Amino acid sequence: MTQIVNKQAVAKAFDRAASQYDSYASLQRLSGNLLLKLAPSYSGKLLLDAGCGTGWYSRVWRDRGKYVIALDLSIEMLKQARKNNTADYYISGDIDHLPIANNTVDIIWSNLAVQWSNSLSKVLNRFNQALKPYGCILFSTISDGSLKELNIAWSYLDEYDHVNQFLSKKEIFKICHMQNITCQSQIVIMHFPNVLTAMRSLKGIGATHLHKGRNSIVLTRNNLYKLEKYWPRDKYGFRLSYHLIYGATDL
């Protein structure tokens, strides 16, 4: 991110979403499944799932024979991961202050988590420090242009930003190049039958926290009517677009 992230507030947002997260995590599944295709055929035994959420991909990797360390900022997310027996070891921690020793892990997997960091450059550099020689980083994130429909619709109601500021594709690619990571991009457009369902999809995955502190927006019936009127849509429904970036270490 290009602004200081209130990690306590982010953790609380994900704590609230933990029990229902998997019901709304279709974007996370889509990005994670594509990221899996970038994994090298041989990648060692020890894997860190950095920003594990409920542990969906921790379990995927453990089923592939890895010893998985699941790390998340949200205590409630970790509780869900542990309840579902998704990993071998669980750590409450912040990827901005990674509690992993240097030259320790073979793979660092981070699916849609690094956008909540204060500095992508520092996070990826720290990931590289934690890797063993010939280790691999696999990560996905969100870039500028994501959720533009949300801002477009709200712009007719007030003057505030309703979406966090994400790094541009160019900035992310440049940072990754310096960390020996090759990137690719994808635009994903999700459709919803109405605006309320679209908004609930964000709340359901904990993505409603705004770094500028405006995370308590009252959605009145009148506001909802106006949002329905101005929200971009097509024949498939009300749109939410995500500009995704995938990165994998050059081996």
For the chain, the domains span 7-249
pLDDT band at 212 (very low <50, low <70, confident <90, very high): low
Evaluated on CA atoms 145, 137, 40, 173, the torsion sign reads: positive
> Among 14-23, 25-34, 147-156, which stretch is predicted with the lowest mean pLDDT?
14-23
124-170, pLDDT tens digit by residue? Answer: 999 999 999 999 999 999 999 999 999 899 999 888 878 888 999 99
52-93, pLDDT tens digit by residue? Answer: 999 999 999 999 999 999 999 999 999 999 999 999 999 999
Residue 21 and residue 57: Cα distance in Å, rounded? 14
Whether residue 80 contacts residue 143, with contact meaning beta carbons closer than 8 Å, is answered with no
Residue 215 in this model has a pLDDT that exceeds 50: no
More confident residue, 59 or 216: 59
> Among 5-9, 49-53, 58-62, which stretch is predicted with the lowest mean pLDDT?
5-9
pLDDT band at 193 (very low <50, low <70, confident <90, very high): very high
- pLDDT for 209 equals 55
- pLDDT for 162 equals 80
User: Stretch 218-232: mean pLDDT, rounded?
Assistant: 89
Residue 2 in this model has a pLDDT that exceeds 50: no
Residue 134 and residue 25: Cα distance in Å, rounded? 31
Burial grade of 87 (CB within 10 A; 0-12, 13-18, 19 or more): buried
CATH code for the part of the protein at 7-249: 3.40.50.150
pLDDT band at 14 (very low <50, low <70, confident <90, very high): confident
> Among 24-28, 134-138, 189-193, 236-240, which stretch is predicted with the lowest mean pLDDT?
24-28
Residue 229 in this model has a pLDDT that exceeds 90: yes
- pLDDT for 83 equals 97
Of 112, 124, 109, nearest to 31 (Cα)? Answer: 112
Residue 190 in this model has a pLDDT that exceeds 90: yes
